[in-house]
Amino acid sequence: MKVVYHEDFTQSYCSDPAAAPGRIEAVVKAIRNRVTFVEATPAKEEDIAAVHTQSHINRVKSDAIYDIAALAAGGAIQAAEIGLQEPCFALIRPPGHHASEGNAWGFCYFNNMAIALEKLKRESRIQNALILDIDLHFGDGTVNILEGNGYVTIYNPSASHAGAYLKNVKDFLFSLKADIIGVSAGFDNHAEDWGGLLSTEDYKEIGGLVRRASKMHGGGCFGILEGGYNHRVLGQNVMAFIEGMEG
């Protein structure tokens, strides 16, 4: 499977957990012999500005984060474009699902998922989309940007045990037809991460559900990295998700 990636994502661009040294390297080590890497390219500012206000873009520039954030957004666009033809994953950072039109928090700067889907929609490459956000934390930025646009249905699953969580994911994915399914793939709900809920095998099951649902709908699918902070298990979890998406 193709994975969009760039060596610059190993940079520790700030002090938050998403930018921690060794985090991206742990994933690369786990997946490098199983995937084909595609080099990420930065998003054009016009694609970022289609989602974010100019004042927010200027703030990100003033914080000296713009280059790496634009590279992450560009990687998400590439994954979505590839995902129209075959499953794809974007190994990118900073994450994005807490970034709204004019502000951001939670280790995020630009909303990678929103930028990618808005570009596909503007170019008439999709008519509708599903977003499955499996991060531990609610993707408020994605909801703020896309929920009112009429072509995207967003689901942030929650449950008290893994079995119910997986059932909720399955019910969502198979209930609505879509041209593409985008997964905001956070892995911080793992049993050995902050959330303590899901197993590595559960991420493989989720990836498989995404793949089967996209095939049933006759559409595409892709995932982009959001959270996940236990470096010891993060790579295994990403690999499991990728294996599931491979079908």
How far apart, in whole angstroms, are the C-alpha atoms of residue 19 and residue 1?
25
**The residue type at 114:** A
pLDDT for residue 247 is more than 90? no
How far apart, in whole angstroms, are the C-alpha atoms of residue 81 and residue 120?
8
**CATH classification at residue 78:** 3.40.800.20
Tell me the torsion sign for CA atoms 28, 71, 247, 34.
Answer: negative
Output phi, psi for 167, to 5 deg. -65, -40
pLDDT for residue 209 is more than 90? yes
CB atoms within 10 A of CB 218: 9
Per-residue confidence (pLDDT) for residue 15, from 0 to 100: 95
Mean pLDDT score, 45-56: 98
Question: How many domains in the chain?
Answer: 1
Q: Name the active-site residue from 52, 56, 97, 98.
A: 98
Average pLDDT across the chain, whole number:
98
How far apart, in whole angstroms, are the C-alpha atoms of residue 50 and residue 212?
31
CB atoms within 10 A of CB 69: 27
Percent with pLDDT over 90 in the chain: 99
Q: Classify 181 as helix, strand or coil.
A: strand
Mean pLDDT score, 17-41: 98
Burial class (CB in 10 A: 0-12, 13-18, 19+), 151: middle
Identify the domain containing residue 203 by its residue range: 2-246
Under a CB-based contact definition with an 8 Å cutoff, are residues 179 and 130 in contact?
no
This model's pTM is above 0.85: yes
Tell me, yes or no, if 98 is annotated catalytic. Answer: yes
> pLDDT tens digit string along 153-189?
999 999 999 999 999 999 999 999 999 999 999 999 9
> pLDDT tens digit string along 92-118?
999 999 999 999 999 999 999 999 999
For residue 147 the two structure tokens come to 């929920």
R_g of the chain computed on alpha carbons: 16
**The residue type at 13:** Y
> pLDDT tens digit string along 214-232?
999 999 999 999 999 999 9
Partnered with residue 88 across adjacent β-strands are: 2, 222
Per-residue confidence (pLDDT) for residue 180, from 0 to 100: 98
> pLDDT tens digit string along 72-92?
999 999 999 999 999 999 999
Residue whose C-alpha is closest to residue 134's, from 74, 76, 190: 190
